[in-house]
Structure 1
């Protein structure tokens, strides 16, 4: 079998969360650092979709954990953006530079704060990054630091920065960071569980690959928690369905919450990511255009829009979008090609 075919199967295995085929491809002599046709390293591809086991297999096969994608991001950046917390934890354990900035000037901490929501999932991502030495003062191309985003975030993020989390949340988050058992720290009476308890139980089941438990916990949480808290568990179940069942099932599930997608900025952006992963660029373009109507100077939105247009062969339109981005950030080499 030719190496190009093996590489195709390797990336397909990553997309399908198939550790057996991934291992088989590597055993056939493929370099674990060999990138695909758009310069994407396999370890970053795995990190971007939350395939922690696949990322570990690649790392053991010699993959560079500091490898960069075309945005200039290490494994920590797309995982922080999408809330793949076990990837973030693994990355900092491997010594990946927590303060590395991508071509937009964003660190993993900024990705989590700008593109994440206020849920416990993103609080835990930020906790791990902060615990690992993240710099809150580092500024992006627009002169904004992670600290500047705190005024728009829930109080827990301020508490993480100042090391003043409530005792129970601190206990849970530290246990997760240290890879300690979570299950024995949960309240015995499940009817007394709050959002944080459900979240920690969910992330423990998700990391262990306990697919039915993870989905059941999401459903129970949505039945028992407040309306505001329920939306987080829609996203958690979406992540679990994508990983354990597949892209089509996750898409059918999330479309049941049409209002959440179109009224919630976080859901809207993350759904556009999901559509790009599934090569559904027409719909992703529509969402990006809607987001740009609200935030016309967001160069990350423009870059995603340009990439989707390019994927559909609309090179001239993509070039126009990149030119528009270059007028906003004229010194950013990302928009000069």
Structure 2
């Protein structure tokens, strides 16, 4: 019983980020291999909360980065899906399986591309994670970045990285559409240019600053931008990159200042609400981050991008009631988006609402009847319903 208690306390301490307690429980015999009722090891608990110091301790103690919880998620893929590139880099040093996938068939590269976690995408590509792997929805990292992105500054840079790494712009999804076709339909003009390899960055400062950013030389990049801003104070692109580099340095307040300055210049550039939300998320200011998504949605209620990424964040937080509400709004806007129905079904299943989850997944099946992922999901929900 004492060992069981120590093991449980280790997971709780890891989730809190309590370094001293983690050391103590390990010294007293707690096991890094122990799993809670959700199948989480202490490493998974620490990873989910982005507690880097605790992750380091657990890795040194022998915790497995490829161990799966009951949802088939590993700490390694979890770090990629949440944009925790520092943790992901650590896990690469401790035997991360580059080809491992989550329950949707996606590697760590896919969710990081979907959510616009630029540095995580770079780390995944540098490590050699296959760039053209497609998940069970039929989407590669590039398809996700185009379809679930908006062609703005951040997603353009993600797409640029993927293309440079050899992403196939003509790889079709399950409907037979390529990334290039989707970008054309979505009127992502700059993305179309990069996919056709026709884009040339005309701003030399931004070109040099991005190169420095890729090399983690953020201070130098900010210095370049500051010099350019002296004569071009209202350049929104310069303000974005300055904010982005401050964010990578964890100088979050200074990053927010740049994004807010940009919004003061042009309140209609809704991307800056998205950048602000991402920054606040890293600061663990949950409600403030959600409010920024809401501001963008209020400006343009028919724009699905901001509402979708709000729903993503809600799912990460385990706030599935709110996530379902967001998915319903999205489905009202785009009833034929089978991926929206699928995400809704996942949240409903997490809430134990299996009949409603089956109804939602049947809507996805109607749009893509041969997708085995949907049928597997429906079968699991039927099994859970029978157990109630």
1:53-132 correspondence runs (5 A): 53-132=86-165
Decide whether aligned partners of structure 1 residues 25 and 248 sit closer, same or farther in structure 2, where only a CA change above 3 A counts: farther
Q: By how many angstroms is 1:269 displaced?
A: 0.5
* Aligned equivalents of 1:153, 1:257: Cα separation in 2: 19
Question: Does residue 348 of structure 2 align to residue 271 of structure 1?
Answer: no
Higher relative contact order, chain-length normalized (CA < 8 Å, sep 6+): 1
Residue 312 of structure 1: aligned partner? 351
**Mean Cα displacement is larger for which, 95-104 or 189-198?**
189-198
Aligned with 1:336: secondary structure? helix
Residue 325 of structure 2: aligned partner? 286
Counterpart contact for 1:127–1:173, Cα < 8 Å: no
Specify which of 35, 39, 44 is matched with residue 4 of structure 1.
35
Question: Does residue 264 of structure 2 align to residue 218 of structure 1?
Answer: no
Decide whether aligned partners of structure 1 residues 59 and 326 sit closer, same or farther in structure 2, where only a CA change above 3 A counts: same
1:102-181 correspondence runs (5 A): 102-151=135-184, 152-161=186-195, 162-168=197-203, 169-177=206-214, 179=216, 181=220
Deviations 1:260-296 (A, max 9, x none): 4744311110001111111111121122122122322
* Aligned equivalents of 1:69, 1:291: Cα separation in 2: 24
Counterpart contact for 2:208–2:221, Cα < 8 Å: no
Decide whether aligned partners of structure 1 residues 187 and 212 sit closer, same or farther in structure 2, where only a CA change above 3 A counts: closer
Question: Does residue 249 of structure 2 align to residue 208 of structure 1?
Answer: yes
Q: Structure 1, unaligned stretches of length 5 or more? A: none
Aligned CA-pair RMSD? 2.1
Question: Does residue 373 of structure 2 align to residue 334 of structure 1?
Answer: yes
* Aligned equivalents of 2:358, 2:337: Cα separation in 1: 16
Q: By how many angstroms is 1:166 displaced?
A: 2.9
Aligned with 2:268: secondary structure? helix
**Mean Cα displacement is larger for which, 124-133 or 202-211?**
202-211
Q: By how many angstroms is 1:189 displaced?
A: 5.0
* Aligned equivalents of 1:165, 1:177: Cα separation in 2: 18
Task: Name the larger-Rg structure.
Answer: 2
Counterpart contact for 1:16–1:246, Cα < 8 Å: no
Counterpart contact for 2:297–2:306, Cα < 8 Å: no
* Aligned equivalents of 2:210, 2:182: Cα separation in 1: 22
Decide whether aligned partners of structure 1 residues 81 and 4 sit closer, same or farther in structure 2, where only a CA change above 3 A counts: same
Q: By how many angstroms is 1:154 displaced?
A: 3.0
* Aligned equivalents of 2:254, 2:181: Cα separation in 1: 38
1:196-275 correspondence runs (5 A): 196-224=237-265, 226-229=266-269, 231-255=270-294, 259-260=298-299, 262-275=301-314
Aligned with 1:279: secondary structure? coil
Q: By how many angstroms is 1:256 displaced?
A: 5.2
Specify which of 324, 329, 336 is matched with residue 363 of structure 2.
324
* Aligned equivalents of 2:156, 2:300: Cα separation in 1: 21
* Aligned equivalents of 2:309, 2:100: Cα separation in 1: 23
Deviations 1:39-77 (A, max 9, x none): 011111111111111111111121123321111111111
* Aligned equivalents of 2:45, 2:187: Cα separation in 1: 37
Q: By how many angstroms is 1:26 displaced?
A: 2.2
Counterpart contact for 1:261–1:271, Cα < 8 Å: no
Q: By how many angstroms is 1:137 displaced?
A: 0.5
Task: Give the TM-score, by structure 2 length.
Answer: 0.80
Aligned with 1:4: secondary structure? coil
